[in-house]
Structure 1
Amino acid sequence: MAENENLSATLTVKQPRLLAAFKHIIAQNHLAHAYLFAGMEGAGQQTLAYWIAQRLFCLHVVDGEPDGTCEECMRIANGQHPDIVTVAPTGQSIHVDQVRYLKAEFSKSAVEGNRKLFIISDAEKMTASAANSLLKFIEEPSGNVTALLLTTNKQLMLPTIISRTQVIEFPPLGAAALQKNFEAAGIKPQAAQTLRHLTNSVSQAQALLVDDWLPNAVEQLWRWFEQVVKGDARSFVAVQTSLVGLAKDSNQQLVMLDLVAALFQDLLQLHFQVDTAAELSFGQYQQALQQMTDQLTDQQLVQATELALTAKRRLASNVSFQNVLEGLTLNLWPIFKNA
């Protein structure tokens, strides 16, 4: 956890209802012994876990809030509190030595007070041995101990763990919160605006920016799109010479088709004035998009968007990425012919 992160402020943006709920739960002394915090990456699971830790151990709680600056809060922020046990996977799983550590800690009393807190990140990566060790604690809790299991893939958790914990679902972030989340991670505003139509995950967003992949994909797609709406035969050639080479793996191919769909949805938004231009995936091309949509009929736009949205399904049906885009290009030409 970042030492100076304002946990409460972050949660007020990301998960205000959950923050309010846990303020009440702790104030009423109704904290359960085991929770599963489940949601997309970046939805606030870890932030809430550390807020709970500070709230439980803070020396100067004011209006249900930890001060974040007392000795206890600072030790938690620095990962140095002896009664806060944190476990996270090294590599692809939570390993045997970490399981032994968990088992040992489950059997120990608190070092400094009468309360102990466990925070287990990426809990879905626990081995069967680790999960069974945890299951024993959950079934037979001893003392004033709470375990917080954090996951971005609840479907990978053992049903026995899910059934014995209180599952707290973290809703996906809203557009404004997601934009702020991406920008806080150092992503430029326009890139963040495009990315939040593609993913809720900061790490996935950053992966799409490696070697400027996303800006290149957006630029090449835009060139293809300008040619398509003019019925220009070069758009068919561009599929093989530009787009296929950019989408080298299945994930990039899916993202590319999501970008195609987002481009046509931008046209629909502008044409029907559904939302503000600030919400556009391709906001940097707003003026050109507006000029295009002014020349198109409702029927043309709807037909084109339907084709763009079905492209991803064709890829899932084992049609090659190149064939999907070439077919889309050929099917779009007659729609825009009379524009």
Structure 2
Amino acid sequence: MMATTDQYATILAAKQPRLLAAFQHIIAQQHLAHAYLFTGMEGAGQLELARWIAQRLFCLHVVDGQPDGTCEECVRIANGQHPDIVTVAPTGQSIHVDQVRYLKSEFTKSAVEGNRKLFIIEDAEKMTASAANSLLKFIEEPSGNVTALLLTANKQLMLPTIISRTQVIEFPPLRSAELQKTFEAAEIPPQSAQMLRQLTNSVSQAQTLMADNWLPQAAEQLWRWFDEVVKGEPRSFVAVQVNLVGLAKDAPQQGVLLDLVAALFQDLLQLHFEVDAESELSFGQYQSQLTALTATLNASQLVAATELALTAKRQLASNISFQNVLEGLTLKLWPIFQHNA
């Protein structure tokens, strides 16, 4: 859903005030680069900053470094109707070949109304290899007064060549306490909000994950699997196919479930090293069980287990099936927990 014409700066002032100030300065000094990669948790402000930059560049009445939000250009940008701002977003699971052709043709065209063009590519990690390579050619050989903004919540899925040829702007996650209040204000239960703030900064995505009680069910089944894994129970291997695979019906849900696996092991690390654990735990409802478990494990065991959990999502991105990723993780974790102190 588009923000109204005066909302982008307000949203950014709350979410990413430092980045807003930085780009005010960059544009005022005419130092805008030709390609940026905006990366961070979904909902951290990437799209709002991209739209703000568009309004700032095209606004007819800039006041104190801010677009006025009410001129014809700003209104058209807010409505997604400006001919010199090309926005591409995935349809389904990827950015398709016809979108790539459109993108390539637009790269070669001059601006329709002025002397500047702006490209905004949402979920840029979902570009096919051919799409990414087409974009790489533009990044390596920019022509004219053109800027590309690539937005992603999964930088690890971007081609290294794209990353190395763009200016990468990291969007820090929103502060946990504020995000917790935001989710709870959207009528999300506190325990689920604790998990969600490690997954997204977006209320709409959080509500999608809560639909049909999916997230609480996923957390419960994941905990059962985890509890069996740390005990070396062979049933944990069976639980992958019986309980977890059926929960993750598509790629986004599979990614979220693996993010939750990583968050669970990170909870263990936080409790072991006493790193602000009480306020930051994703699985706060299991704090007593996790605390008891940390007493039976040493730091090297915890670090090894967490590293395995963190690599699981990268394996999924390498076209290893979700079931194989989780079964492989289960088998690798058993030996670590067989030597409890």
Question: Shift in Å at residue 211 of structure 1?
Answer: 4.2
- Output the TM-score relative to the length of structure 1: 0.68
1:52-92 CA-partner distances (Å, limit 9, x unpaired):
11112223322212233333222111101222222234342
Q: 1:180 to 1:73 in 2, by over 3 A?
A: farther
Question: Shift in Å at residue 170 of structure 1?
Answer: 1.5
Aligned partners of 1:228 and 1:130: how far apart in 2?
39
Q: 1:330 to 1:216 in 2, by over 3 A?
A: farther
Aligned partners of 2:132 and 2:223: how far apart in 1?
49
Opposite residue 151 of structure 2, the aligned amino acid is: L
Residues 123-138 of structure 1: matches in 2 within 5 Å?
123-124=124-125, 125=127, 128=130, 131-132=133-134, 135=137
Matched with 1:245 is 242
Question: Shift in Å at residue 134 of structure 1?
Answer: 7.0
Asked whether the equivalents of residues 54 and 118 of structure 2 are also in contact (C-alpha less than 8 Å), the reply is yes
Question: Shift in Å at residue 252 of structure 1?
Answer: 7.2
Residues 1-339 of structure 1: matches in 2 within 5 Å?
2-4=2-4, 6-32=7-33, 34-42=34-42, 43-91=44-92, 92-96=94-98, 98-100=100-102, 102-104=104-106, 106-111=108-113, 113-124=114-125, 125=127, 128=130, 131-132=133-134, 135=137, 139=141, 141-142=143-144, 144-151=145-152, 152-153=154-155, 156-157=158-159, 159=161, 166-176=166-176, 179=179, 183=183, 188=188, 189-197=190-198, 199-200=199-200, 209=210, 211-219=212-220, 236=233, 239=236, 245-248=242-245, 254-255=258-259, 257-258=261-262, 260-265=264-269, 267-268=271-272, 272=274, 274-275=275-276, 277-284=278-285, 288=288, 300=296, 302=298, 305=302, 309=306, 312=309, 320=328
Asked whether the equivalents of residues 40 and 200 of structure 1 are also in contact (C-alpha less than 8 Å), the reply is no
Q: 1:210 to 1:321 in 2, by over 3 A?
A: farther
Opposite residue 22 of structure 1, the aligned amino acid is: F
Question: Shift in Å at residue 26 of structure 1?
Answer: 1.4
Question: Shift in Å at residue 247 of structure 1?
Answer: 1.8
Opposite residue 66 of structure 1, the aligned amino acid is: P
1:12-61 CA-partner distances (Å, limit 9, x unpaired):
344333322211121123333x1122423424332221111111222332
Asked whether the equivalents of residues 99 and 133 of structure 1 are also in contact (C-alpha less than 8 Å), the reply is no
- Output the TM-score relative to the length of structure 2: 0.67
Aligned partners of 1:242 and 1:225: how far apart in 2?
10
Asked whether the equivalents of residues 37 and 163 of structure 2 are also in contact (C-alpha less than 8 Å), the reply is no
Question: Shift in Å at residue 103 of structure 1?
Answer: 1.9
Count of aligned residue pairs for this structure pair: 315
Q: Give the gaps of 5 or more residues in structure 2.
A: 249-253, 316-323
Aligned partners of 1:105 and 1:228: how far apart in 2?
51
Asked whether the equivalents of residues 84 and 119 of structure 1 are also in contact (C-alpha less than 8 Å), the reply is yes
Asked whether the equivalents of residues 88 and 94 of structure 1 are also in contact (C-alpha less than 8 Å), the reply is no
Larger Rg: 1
Aligned partners of 2:105 and 2:237: how far apart in 1?
56
Asked whether the equivalents of residues 228 and 236 of structure 2 are also in contact (C-alpha less than 8 Å), the reply is no
